[in-house]
Amino acid sequence: MTARPGFVLEVDRSTPPTLFWYGENFRLERLPRSSRILYPPEPLPAIRDVRTAIENALDNPAGDQKPLDALLFPGMQLTIAFDDVSLPLPQMTAPDIRSLVIEAVLERAAQAGVEDVQLVAALALHRRMTEGELKHAVGKRAYNALKPRGLLTQHDAEDQANMLEIGHTDQGELVEINRRAAESDLLVYVNINLVSMDGGHKSVATGLASYASIRHHHNVKTMVQSRSFMDRHSSELHSSNWRMGRLIKDAGIKIFQIETTLNTNTFPDSFRFLQRREWEWDLRDRASFVAANGALAKTPPALARQIFHSIRSPYGVTGVNAGEVEAVHDLTLAKVFEQQLVRVEGQTDILTMGLPFVGPYNVNSIMNPILVYCLSLGYFFNMYRHKPLVRKGGVVIISHPTRPEFDPAFHPSYIDFYEQVLTETTDPLIIEQKYEETFARDPWYIHLYRTGNAYHGVHPFYMWYWGAHALDHLGGVIVMGGDPKTVRRLGFKPASTLNDALEMAGSIVGANPTVTHLHSPPLVMADVY
């Protein structure tokens, strides 16, 4: 059966209440009449035989690149880098697509007599993955063969001895990446392109880079000029990464990029109502919703979080492309847009969105207030092409409990950012100028990043810059059902119900505002004309 395309629904009196994520729970809300709801296309049909698709991709590379077998030879140095735990969301059912690709590459390397192989998790400034996460990502076979020999490593952006300066771009941006990757005869990069922001030159130029290199594009100026960073051709973040990527290529570093795309089959059968449109919920879906909603409301947040984070998504693989970076990425983007893009006519005054329990930076962890800010104003707001879904000076209404909870092991610098920086100012420019350097160079945060499972000290700053374009564009942000004190700390306004939030928004955008809801799950991207 072919997947039904996405569409924009206009709310009328017979439209059933709409599902909003509310952290580790959901809400059903009645949107005002004439509001619009963006429904994403249904999950695209998955490739039945993924292993054969991978073999085909390795044998028939895109762009100016030889088949993988022709690039492997005895005595060579091979490095295989792969995306870290921030993708996909939630983690996919075993086998993870990365593990299938890595196994296929290792199989060929073994047959070709390649002795010197190393796997590198492309962490950039993210936290180190746990052993269980690594095993899931690369697969048990690769883990058991490589880990005991120290051949499965995680990129360390603070290990200066293992970084190699490639040079500067024509814009003066420093390019410095993992020495092992740079000095290898071949660097194979295995990615998962969940959204259009991922992949391309960003994989190596960011994933394997140092802080000194990443700061050239992870800053307020670049983010404000990325409109949006989900649209590569209008994104300064990507332009910078592309400049760096081309410099890496010109330096003679041979990259064999393997990009994979997934459909939006995000939730298993027990949560199938999340995948369906509300008017199509049958008796089982309605009963499941009521049972889940009621039970989760009475469940302590920590337990609800554990339940949700144990979900494994039955994603289907929709594409595997390999070869030269830019040619591969064009094919990948076409597939991502086919899955997520919905055409929308005109902007809106008020944009509503429900935030889920997980974002890229809190896998198996707590969605702290800074990540709530980043997921809403960074990711969901930027899920557009051409124009933002909400007009200049418009309002975004978020549904999330926004509790002041932090994970001290994964997000230590976030706690200090929340307590020390946000109490002073929420202006990204001032934050960048005044505080970034101190946090980025803090030896304790660096120690935790290198030896524990902590995000780099500078990471909360990047989260804040991620929302800089939205902050610049919006007239206000209201959090429905959020902890008032926490919401105010973020510079937002709290509201207890959707009606209250709409009333408050009305005072900013004027009477009779237009309302658009970004329906999630699953992921949807607006193509605004």
Contact residues toward another protein (CB under 8 A) are 43, 45-46, 48, 50-51, 92-95, 97, 103, 106-107, 109-110, 113-115, 117, 139-142, 144-149, 151, 262-263, 265, 267-271, 307, 310-317
Of 47 and 526, nearer to another protein (C-beta) is: 47
Asked whether the CA dihedral 366, 367, 370, 374 is positive or negative, the reply is positive
Angle between helices 97-111 and 50-59 (to 10 degrees): 50
CB of 314 to another protein, least distance (A): 5
The residue to which tokens 């459909």 are assigned: 263
Rounded Cα distance, 462 and 441, in Å: 15
Q: How do beta strands 26-29 and 18-21 pair?
A: antiparallel
- Whether 440 contacts 460, CB under 8 Å: no
Of 10 and 107, nearer to another protein (C-beta) is: 107
Of 316 and 482, nearer to another protein (C-beta) is: 316
CB of 310 to another protein, least distance (A): 6
CB of 90 to another protein, least distance (A): 9
CB of 312 to another protein, least distance (A): 4
Tokens of 120: 């590198």
Strand ranges inside 208-254, DSSP E: none
Of 42 and 278, nearer to another protein (C-beta) is: 42
The 3 state secondary structure assigned to 299-345 is CCHHHHHHHHHCCCECCCEEEEEEECHHHHHHHHHHHHHHHHEEEEC
CB of 293 to another protein, least distance (A): 17
Rounded Cα distance, 362 and 170, in Å: 36
Rounded Cα distance, 347 and 514, in Å: 9
Q: In which element (H, E) is residue 290 found?
A: helix 283-298
Of 92 and 372, nearer to another protein (C-beta) is: 92
CB of 75 to another protein, least distance (A): 13
Tokens of 240: 């910078």
Of 10 and 115, nearer to another protein (C-beta) is: 115
Tokens of 281: 């919920």
Of 185 and 324, nearer to another protein (C-beta) is: 185
Closest CA relative to residue 320, chosen from 401, 402, 262: 262
Of 175 and 292, nearer to another protein (C-beta) is: 292
Closest CA relative to residue 487, chosen from 399, 402, 395, 393: 402
CB of 177 to another protein, least distance (A): 24
- The phi and psi torsions of 213 (rounded to 5 degrees) equal -85, -45
CB of 44 to another protein, least distance (A): 9
